[in-house]
Amino acid sequence: MTASAIPGESIDLQITDLLSEVHFPTNKDALVDAAREAGASNEVLSMLDGMPEQDYADIASVTRLISGNYGPGLGS
């Protein structure tokens, strides 16, 4: 079962699960590729693809940015 198949799981948790094998720091393209390979939903892929082209230090920096861009309820 992929992380995106877990009903009711928050976007932050889906992203954390999907990117758990990624070696940080990394860039946006590598994050999108890793999420795609892990079976991310189109919604998650769209969010990751919409992030700025920059290096990300860790998963928390990714989820903070997505939470800030997509409103309340997505952050922890």
pLDDT, tens digit, 9 for 90 and up, residues 24-68: 999 999 999 999 999 999 999 999 999 999 999 999 999 888 887
Kindly state the average pLDDT of the residues 5-18. Answer: 76
11-18 and 42-49 helices cross at what angle (nearest 10)? 80
Do 76 and 12 contact (CB within 8 A), yes or no? yes
In whole angstroms, what is the distance from residue 48 CA to residue 2 CA? 17
11-18 and 59-70 helices cross at what angle (nearest 10)? 150
In whole angstroms, what is the distance from residue 43 CA to residue 55 CA? 21
